[in-house]
Structure formats: C-alpha cells, structure tokens
C-alpha cells in the first residue's frame, strides 16, 4: 500500500495542476501566448485568432445567445450540450414522439428539424475602441450622462462597422467601464436539430449529480447550421444548404491524461470577480437565499404535475430544468462562499487597496472615495434586494400568466395605436380614394399584429398547463405576501390578501376563471374583435402591469445606490490594475468570446477524499437505479457497456472514458464549449463546474476549481455504437496520433483539419 501511495504522489508531482485563472479576450492572447506554449500549446497566435485567415475562433459559435457550440465537420455540424439543446428537443417532442426520453437521430439532411428563433453567431472580428470612447468622458459627468455618452458613441462605432455588410455589431464595456471593445458578428438563423441522446444519457444523474464530480453524463447534442445557396445567412428555407465553415475542429481519439494542456473557446455569460466584500455579504445574507426559497416552491409545484401526466412532463421539462439549474447553483454558491472564506479574501484585497491609496496624496484624490462608495451603495440597497428578487422570481417569473399578460398587452397596444392613427388620418382624408389607401395601409398593420399574437399564443399554450399555472400563482403570491414588507408589495396583492383573508388559492381560482389569457381559445376569441377597455380590465393584465410597475419602481428606488456602486467599481477596478501593474488582469465575463486554458487534473475536495481526473462507463452501471428516473440507463447502453464493445473509443486500459476534469476558468454560457488540446483538436465538450468551487464566479479557487467535460470518445461512442448514426461519424474528421503534432505545421488550419 505504501508503494501505491508513493506512486500516486509521484504522479501528482510529475504532472502539477497549474492554476490558470482568467477568461481572456482572443484579440489579446499574445499576452498569454508564451505561457500557453510552455504548457503544451502547439499552435501559433494566428491559428488561435485571425481576422484575415481561418483560425480556431471561426469554429466557435454563440449558440442562441445562451450557450456555446463548435463546428465539427465541413458540413456545418454543431456540437453543444444536451442541456443547451434541451428546449429544442422538447419543442419537437410529444407523447407519440418523445425525443426527450428516446433520443433523436437524423439519418439524412431531410430528417433534420428546424428551430424557430435559434441562431448560430460567429465572431468576425473584435477591436479595441477604448480611446475613442474615453476621450469623450469626463470625471465630473453624472452616471446617467456617462452611460448616455457611451451608448451614443458605441452606436456610432457599431453602425460604422456594419455599414454595407450583413454583419451585426455592438460595443461592450469591460473592467466596469474602463475599457471598450467592438464586436462584429455574422449570424445564421437556420439551425436544425440533428441528434440527441435520450435524457437518460444526456441528463444522467439529474439534479442529484448537477454540479457534482464524479460525473457520468453524456451531456451533448448535435445541430447543423444552414446557409442560403450563396453561402450567406438566410432565414429557414428548403433550398438552404449546410454551411461550409471557415474552420471546423478535428476530433482526437487520443484522449487525456493528468497534466495535459486544455483550452476552451466560448461565450461565458457573467462573472463578478471584482465583487466587493459588501457584495459578497449581501449575496450570502439576502440575495441567494431569496432566489432559492422561491424556486424551491416553484419546483415542487411543477414536479407534482409533471409526475401526474406524461404530456405535462414533456411540456414543462425545459422550464423545470431552467428553474432547477440556478436553484441548485445559488445553494452551492452560498455554501462555498462561506466554506472558501471569500468574504475574508475580499476584505484582504480591500485592505491592501486602502493602504495603497492612502500612501500617496494624488491617489487619495483619485481613489479615496472608492470603498466608501461601495459600502454606502450596498447599505442603501439592502432594504430593496429581497423585494426585487420576489417581484421577479415570484411575480414576473413565478406563474406564467403575469409575464404573458405584460407581453400580450404591450404588443396589442400597438394595434390600438394603429387604429387610433388610422381614425385620425381618415378624419383628415380628402376623398374616398385616400380613405381606401389609408384603410388598406393600417388594416394591414393591424391584421399582422393580430396574426402575430395568434401565432405566439399557439406556441405559448403548446407547453402550458392551466391548473399547474394556477397553483403556481397561488403559492408564489402567498409566499410574496408573507415574506415581503407590505409597503413593497404591488397594490393588487394587498387588496387580494384583505378580500380573500389570505386564501390565495381562492384568489387564483377567480383570476384564472376571469382572465381571457388562460386559454388559447379565449385568446383567439378576444383577438377576433379586440377591445381596449376589456384588455385593461382583464385581471391577468392588471396583475402583470402592476408587477412590472413594481419592478420598475425598485430600479428607481435603487438608482442612487446603483450609481454609487457603478462609480465605486469603476474606480476600484482601475485602481487594482494600477496598484499591480505587472499583473495580467482579465475582464469579467459579459457574453463575449473568451479563451481560457489549463490542465487536466485530479484534486482533493476535502480531507481524506481524492477525486480522479476521469470517469468511465463502469460508473454508469454502479450508479444505475431502475427506480430513480435520474439514474435509469437504457437497456441497450447497459448491454454495450457490459459487452465492453467500445471499438476505437476505448482508452489504453480498455475502458470507455465518459467525463474528465480540468482547471480551465468557465461559467454559465460556456456550456457546450469545446475542450481543445494543444494541437487544436477537440477532446471534449464542457458542461459544468464542480460543487466545491461554486463560489468561483466571484473568486477563482486555484486548488479546487474544475471544469467538468464529457469526453469526445464517449460522444462518438454514443453516436456510433449506441445510436448507429454512422452518417454523422463519417462526416467528422477523427484523429489518432499520440506521437506528436497531428499535422504539418506549415499547412493552413483548414487544410490541417482535412489532412487528419
């Protein structure tokens, strides 16, 4: 035993897991390149990011704006997570064709399924425009004036960038308003579902395993991006063709071992790495627990109805998953903020900052108010935090009726405005011909609005259960009334509590019987002859309107404290970078493309516990439980694993690898990101972080932070051996070369992919 322990310790020492904090802008990777190269990168900077030639960035997409995907074939095949494609899979599912339970695999282009509203966005280029914006800003500007000027100049820059092109463009703020970058994108709106494993593979472990290691989840799905016949972006049409990408990722069969270099390109959503100790305390004490207590109740209601009816289970699968994911996230973040002493770490940084500021007179003038602004801002906002959470989580995002009512009435108001404008112009018309022209113009607009609302109603009610929503309304409104100060509640809630003597079930029954917005039939009937007075008097519309007004009121009440925090963070971030001029700082994530790199590595989550760096299919059978829907395993997959028929996807031990961990720095939005080796080859697909470092969005935990990824070999095994979708395997480029660089270093990157 001592020899084995000594060997393990030697192995860990031989392959140290490097701390690789940072989400880096691809334009600025030259600052990190030597470090990346020293740790295993074999590509040039131009092969990572280039505007004029194909590079790795050209294989990476923003998948619908909420996840990341990557192109893995010359025919526009997209790999992303199962949970990223979950809503699309659910949309195409019903009781007869339950793709959530059974999986879906297109054996031809004709079988692939279109997805309205889903897009693939490629980064064309990015540019530092900081000087152009900051030269127009002054220290004596109010926060409103500063924000307005930034928006004005940013819009001008973006408009110039996309002039005479089909590109999109925007300017984003970095380092809390200290730097600004332009991003130019090419967006394709025809993205089709190609393949997805059953949820028993793609969500194996469910809520129990979510954010946990070890993991045995095949969290992937496949889509395809289509272009018009000319290769340019186009709306869905039968004549569209699979996109020929500028670059796609070859897939390595070599796998990973401890200490291997890994790199992730993706679109991380948001982090708060510069959050102050005051912000940490507010998150622990108020914000996070408030989100958890509301979502916990919502999940209970949804699960009750989903367990009762297969159709409801399919209807609410995606809604439940979205609610559950961040319910558990905030539980974990609160726990790890405390376990990892993040508050104390932030206080230490602030103490160092304060000493540095006060050691120099000019710094005191520039930064002397920084920490005071942050302290005052949080103290002033404390009384509104819980109420603001509740108006969103229990109100606008509790039951579906209020938000649907807000959106419906807002759209229909455009109909009434058009009617009013038409009547005014008709009064001014000079003859019958002019009247006819006016009526034709405005009736066309009004008809289009009604048809749009009918179409959205069909989409909305397709995944809607009235009784479930009614119970959600009753329970969330009861929680809202009992947990939030009366003066911060919308008027309807106070009146209902008095009228119904706190019986919100009875109140909900009346609301859902009276509102025309609780069934598709009554919505369509109303739209036959819309009446403005009837709309305003509808109980659902009234509730939605008051909840939205309450939400706006919270923002107005917090305006002064928000301004203090905005200025405080801008000064704090600038001051930290000035205080540590030799440190290579990175900006918080903000849904723009980032690159992060690190190494594969095991870790010790707590005393006397060791987690290895990979899992295998053996763990699937060890976790299997036919009585628990989170741990059910398809019979055919069980047979394949037991037969050990893994083909070329086995590792050197003959095992089938399933997942692995590495210390790259990711967050929400990175879901679906490619894990790439030093040669530019795909080795996995990132899908989660680990429980012990769930405070990582606020403070990167060097020893604990891990990315959990599904191994590319398990993905290929499921596609090939389990699904029999060899048509998909055949269009990919598979590489097996553990003897050195897989390609000629002189060849262009797209030729390298083909060569392999």
Token pair for 113: 């399924």
Token pair, residue 143, equals 């926060």
Identify the CA nearest to 572 among candidates 382, 380, 363: 363
Omega of the bond prior to 438 within 30 degrees of 0, cis?
no
Per-residue tokens: 87: 């809503």
Q: What is the CATH architecture of 15-119+189-272+588-755?
A: Beta Barrel (2.40)
What was the pLDDT predicted at 737?
79
Phi–psi pair at 95, nearest 5 degrees? -65, -35
The rounded distance, in Å, linking the Cα atoms of 425 and 439 is 9
DSSP 3-state assignment of 677?
coil
CB atoms within 10 A of CB 188: 22
User: How high is the pLDDT of residue 430?
Assistant: 87
541-594, pLDDT tens digit by residue?
999 999 999 999 999 999 999 999 999 999 999 999 999 999 999 999 999 999
CA distances to 20, 31, 163, 260, 675 from 663, rounded to whole Å, are 7, 20, 41, 11, 11
76 conformational bin, left if phi > 0, alpha if psi -120 to 50, beta if neither: left
Report the pLDDT averaged over residues 646-660. 97
Q: Distance between CA atoms of 398 and 493, rounded to whole angstroms?
A: 14
Q: What are phi and psi of 708, to 5 degrees?
A: -100, 125
Token digits of residue 283: 């998150």
Phi and psi angles of residue 657, each rounded to the nearest 5 degrees, phi first: -65, 145
What do you get for the CA distance between the two ends of the chain, in Å? 43
pLDDT in tens, 597-607: 999 999 999 99
Query: How many beta carbons lie within 10 A of that of residue 192, not counting itself?
Result: 23
For the purposes of burial, counting CB atoms within 10 Å of the CB of 415, is it exposed (0-12), middle (13-18) or buried (19 or more)? buried
- pLDDT at residue 429, as a whole number: 85
Q: Is the pLDDT of residue 1 over 60?
A: no
- Rounded CA separation 605/614 (Å): 15
Specify the pLDDT at position 464: 97
Tell me which H or E stretch contains 479: helix 466-483
Residues catalogued as catalytic:
83, 219, 671
Q: How confident is the model at residue 320 (pLDDT cuts 50, 70, 90)?
A: very high
* pLDDT at site 613: 98
Q: Is the pLDDT of residue 297 over 50?
A: yes
Share of the chain above pLDDT 70, in %: 95
> d(Cα 476, Cα 390) in Å, to the nearest integer?
9
Model pLDDT for residues 128-182, shown as the tens digit of each residue: 999 999 999 998 999 999 999 999 999 999 999 999 999 999 999 999 999 999 9
Mean pLDDT value across residues 326-354:
97
Answer whether residue 745 shows pLDDT above 80: no
Cα 137 to chain centroid, rounded: 32
Pairing label, strands 674-676, 113-114: unpaired
User: What backbone torsions phi and psi does residue 431 show, to the nearest 5 degrees?
Assistant: -160, 175
Q: Chain-centre distance of CA 306, in angstroms? A: 25
Q: What is the dihedral of CA 151, 154, 155, 161, to 10 degrees?
A: -170
| Six token digits for residue 181 | 């970058």
**Using alpha carbons only, what angle is made at residue 432 by residues 429 and 433, rounded to the nearest 5 degrees?**
90
Average pLDDT over the chain reads 93
Question: Tokens 């319910």 identify what position?
Answer: 327
Annotated domain spans of the chain? 15-119+189-272+588-755, 122-184, 341-586
How do 77-80 and 104-105 pair as beta strands? unpaired
DSSP 361-409: HHHHHHHTTHHHHHHHHHHHHHHHHHHHHHIIIIIITTSSHHHHHHHHH
Instruction: Collapse the DSSP code of 632 into the 3-class scheme (helix H, G, I; strand E, B; otherwise coil) and give the result.
Output: coil
């Amino acid at each position: 035993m001592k020899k084995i322990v000594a060997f393990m310790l030697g192995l860990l020492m031989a392959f140290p897991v490097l701390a690789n904090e940072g989400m880096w802008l691809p334009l600025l990777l030259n600052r990190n390149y030597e470090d990346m190269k020293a740790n295993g990168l074999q590509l040039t900077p131009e092969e990572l990011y280039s505007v004029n030639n194909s590079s790795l960035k050209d294989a990476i997409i923003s998948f619908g704006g909420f996840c990341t995907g990557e192109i893995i074939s010359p025919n526009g095949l997209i790999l992303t997570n199962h949970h990223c494609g979950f809503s699309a899979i659910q949309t195409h599912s019903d009781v007869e064709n339950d793709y959530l339970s059974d999986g879906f695999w297109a054996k031809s282009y004709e079988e692939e399924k279109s997805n309205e509203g889903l897009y693939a966005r490629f980064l064309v280029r990015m540019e530092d425009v900081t000087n152009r914006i900051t030269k127009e800003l002054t220290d004596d500007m109010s926060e409103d004036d500063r924000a307005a000027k930034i928006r004005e100049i940013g819009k001008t820059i973006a408009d110039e960038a996309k002039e005479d092109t089909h590109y999109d463009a925007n300017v984003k703020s970095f380092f809390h308003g200290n730097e600004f970058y332009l991003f130019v994108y090419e967006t394709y709106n025809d993205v089709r579902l190609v393949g997805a494993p059953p949820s028993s593979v793609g969500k194996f472990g469910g809520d129990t395993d979510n954010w946990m290691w070890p993991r045995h989840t095949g969290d992937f799905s496949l889509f395809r991006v289509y272009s018009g016949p000319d290769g340019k972006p186009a709306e869905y049409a039968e004549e569209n063709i699979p996109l020929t990408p500028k670059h796609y990722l070859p897939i390595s069969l070599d796998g990973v071992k401890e200490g291997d270099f890994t790199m992730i390109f993706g679109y991380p959503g948001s982090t708060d790495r510069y959050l102050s100790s005051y912000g940490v305390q507010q998150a622990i004490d108020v914000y996070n627990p408030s989100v958890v207590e509301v979502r916990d109740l919502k999940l209970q209601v949804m699960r009750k109805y989903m367990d009762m009816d297969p159709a409801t289970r399919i209807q609410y699968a995606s809604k439940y998953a979205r609610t559950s994911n961040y319910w558990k996230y905030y539980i974990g973040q609160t726990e790890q903020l405390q376990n990892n002493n993040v508050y104390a770490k932030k206080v230490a940084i602030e103490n160092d900052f304060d000493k540095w500021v006060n050691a120099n007179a000019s710094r005191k003038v520039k930064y002397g108010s920084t920490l005071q602004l942050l302290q005052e801002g949080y103290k002033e906002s404390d009384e509104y935090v819980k109420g603001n959470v509740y108006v969103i989580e229990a109100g606008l995002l509790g039951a579906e009726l209020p938000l649907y009512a807000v959106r419906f009435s807002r759209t229909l108001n455009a109909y009434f405005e058009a009617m009013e404008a038409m009547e005014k112009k008709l009064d001014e018309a000079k003859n019958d011909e002019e009247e006819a022209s006016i009526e034709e113009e405005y009736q066309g607009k009004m008809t289009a609005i009604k048809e749009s609302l009918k179409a959205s109603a069909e989409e909305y009610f397709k995944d809607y259960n009235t009784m479930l929503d009614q119970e959600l309304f009753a329970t969330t409104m009861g929680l809202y009334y009992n947990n939030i100060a009366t003066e911060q509640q919308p008027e309807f809630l106070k009146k209902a509590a008095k009228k119904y003597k706190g019986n919100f079930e009875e109140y909900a029954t009346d609301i859902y019987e009276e509102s025309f917005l609780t069934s598709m039939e009554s919505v369509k009937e109303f739209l036959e002859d819309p009446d403005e007075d009837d709309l305003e008097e509808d109980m659902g519309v009234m509730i939605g309107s008051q909840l939205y007004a309450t939400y706006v009121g919270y923002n107005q009440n917090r305006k002064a404290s928000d301004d203090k925090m905005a200025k405080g963070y801008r000064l704090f971030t600038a001051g930290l970078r000035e205080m540590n001029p030799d440190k290579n700082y990175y900006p918080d994530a903000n849904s723009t493309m980032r690159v992060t790199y690190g190494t594969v590595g095991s870790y010790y989550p707590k005393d006397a516990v060791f987690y290895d760096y990979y899992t295998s299919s053996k763990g699937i059978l060890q976790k299997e439980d036919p009585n628990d829907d989170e741990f059910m395993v398809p019979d055919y997959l069980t047979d394949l694993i037991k037969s050990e028929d893994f083909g070329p996807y086995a590792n050197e031990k003959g095992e089938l690898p399933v997942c692995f961990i590495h210390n790259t720095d990711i967050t929400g939005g990175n879901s679906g990101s490619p894990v790439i080796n030093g040669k530019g080859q795909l080795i996995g697909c990132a899908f989660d972080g680990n429980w012990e470092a769930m405070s990582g969005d606020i403070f990167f935990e060097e020893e604990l932070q891990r990315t959990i990824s599904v191994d590319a070999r398990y993905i290929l095994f499921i596609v090939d051996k389990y699904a029999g979708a060899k048509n998909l395997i055949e269009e990919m480029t598979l590489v097996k070369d553990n003897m050195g660089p897989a390609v000629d270093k002189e060849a262009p990157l797209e030729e390298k992919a083909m060569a392999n």
